[in-house]
Structure 1
Amino acid sequence: MPTTAYSDETRTPQRGRPRDATRDDALRQAALDVMAEVGYRALTMDAVAARARAGKATIYRRWESKLDLVVDTCTQLASRSVPVPDTGSLAEDLREFLSSFAAFLAGPVGRAAQALVGELPHEPELAKAFRETFLTSQRNVLRGLLDRASGRGELRPDAPLAMTVELAGAALTHRLMLTGEPLDVPFVDRLVDQVLVPLVRS
C-alpha cells in the first residue's frame, strides 16, 4: 500500500544511527544558518528543510524536535571544532585551545551562538541542554589542561582553577557578545600571558 505524506514514519520520529553523516552535517549547518538569521524562537523545521533542500520527514527521522536538533548541533560542533592540546606547557596549551575556540566563535557559528544565548533566559529546556553539552564540554577541556599542568608542577597549590576556567570563557564571550572587538591572536596572547597564567602559576 503506498505511503502517504501522513505516514507513521512522518508522525512518529525514530531515533537511531544516522543514515548519512554528510547529510546530517548539512542539516545541522542549515539549522545554524537559519538560527543566525531569525533566532531560536523563530527557527522552524520547515525553514531548516527549505534551507537544506530536504524533506521535513528527513529531519524528523533524525531529530524529534527543534530542541533536539539545536542541542545535537551544539554538541557536534563542540566535539569536532576545537582541539584538545597537550604540548607539555600550560601557556601553549591555553594559547592553542583558546585561539582555536576564538576562531570557531568568530566564524559563522558566532552569529548563531549570539542568537541562541539571547534565548536561554526564556527557554529553560534549551538553557539546561546548552549548558550540559556545549558549555560543559568546553569547560572540561580547559579544566583538563589545568589539571595536567598541576600534575607537572606548573600551578601553585591554591590556584583558583574553577575561576580560571570561568575567566577564560567570559573573556571570549565579552568580546563576541558585547564589545565586538576582534577575537584575534593578539587578544588571546594577552589573555594567556597577562591574566590566566599569572593567576595560577606556581
Structure 2
Amino acid sequence: MASVFSSPQASGGPRSLAKILDAARGVLSEHGYPALTIEAVAAAAGVGKSTIYRWWPNKEALVADALAEVFRADDIPDLGDTHAELRYAVDMTIDNYANEDIAASLPALAAGLLPHPELMSRFREAFLFRKRENIAVALRRAVRRGDLPDDLDTDLVQDIWAGTILYRRLMTGSPLDADLAEHLVRLVTDKPARRAGG
C-alpha cells in the first residue's frame, strides 16, 4: 500500500487508510479533481474529516497518495531484447497516462503542490524518479549491448515519450495505441538514414 504522503504518526489501521484512498479514487473518477473535497471523500469513506486530516495535511497530499497506488513504476526486466524491453517501458508509460484519473489530475495536482516544497519533493519521488530510473536502467542496458549510442540522453528520451503520450491524452485525443508505442520505441532504436553520397 502506498503511503508516500500520509503521516506515519496518524492513528488508524491499514483498512481505514485503504478505505479512504479507495473513496478518494471513487470521488475523483465520478467528479474530477477540481470538485474533489475532503468533505466528499470523508462522506464516501464513512469517516469524519478530522480522520482524513490526521493522515494527510491537504487535498493534494491525499490525491497524490490515492494515485500513487495505481501509478506503475515497474522494474524493466532484462529480456535480452532491447526492443521488447523498451516496448515494455513505453507500454507502462501509456498505461499510466491512459488512466483517466491520473491524466486528468496530475497537472492540477502538481500545481497545487508547488507551494509545499516538501510534498512536491515526495510527489516527484513517488511519480517520477523511481519510474524514470527503472527506464533509464533499461536504456543503459541497451547502450551496453551496443544497440543504442553511447551518448544517449536517457532523460530526454523519457521526456519525449511521456510528453508525447500526455499531450495526446490531454490535448489532441489521438490514440494511445500499439502503433504509437512502436513509433516511440523506433524513435530511439532506428538508425538515422544515411545521406545520399555519404
Tell me if TM exceeds 0.5: yes
Mapped to 1, the partners of 2:106 and 2:12 lie a distance apart of 25
TM-score computed with the length of structure 1 as normaliser: 0.72
Which residue of structure 2 aligns with residue 173 of structure 1? 166
CA contact (8 A) 2:73 2:134 kept: no
CA contact (8 A) 1:35 1:116 kept: no
Equivalent residues in 2 for 1:17-56, closer than 5 Å? 19-20=13-14, 22-36=15-29, 37-40=31-34, 42-56=35-49
Mapped to 2, the partners of 1:28 and 1:133 lie a distance apart of 16
Mapped to 1, the partners of 2:188 and 2:46 lie a distance apart of 45
2:179 counterpart letter in structure 1: P
Equivalent residues in 2 for 1:1-202, closer than 5 Å? 15=9, 19-20=13-14, 22-36=15-29, 37-40=31-34, 42-78=35-71, 81-86=72-77, 87-107=79-99, 110-118=100-108, 120-121=110-111, 123-125=113-115, 128-129=120-121, 130-193=123-186, 195-198=187-190
Mapped to 2, the partners of 1:169 and 1:47 lie a distance apart of 31
Question: Could you say what secondary structure the match of 1:125 adopts?
Answer: coil
Mapped to 1, the partners of 2:111 and 2:191 lie a distance apart of 31
Q: 1:113–1:53: structure 2 CA closer, same or farther, 3 Å change rule?
A: farther
How far residue 106 of structure 1 moved from its aligned partner, in angstroms, is 1.7
How far residue 145 of structure 1 moved from its aligned partner, in angstroms, is 1.3
% same residue: 27
How far residue 167 of structure 1 moved from its aligned partner, in angstroms, is 0.8
Structure 2 gaps of 5+ residues are 1-6, 193-198
1:196 counterpart letter in structure 2: V
Mapped to 2, the partners of 1:63 and 1:122 lie a distance apart of 14
Question: Could you say what secondary structure the match of 2:55 adopts?
Answer: coil
- Post-superposition CA distance 1:98-156 (Å, at most 9, x none): 2133123323xx23432330454465136834334312233222212112222333221
CA contact (8 A) 1:14 1:61 kept: no
Runs (4 or more) in structure 1 with deviation over 6 Å come to none
Q: 1:25–1:97: structure 2 CA closer, same or farther, 3 Å change rule?
A: farther
CA contact (8 A) 2:74 2:131 kept: no
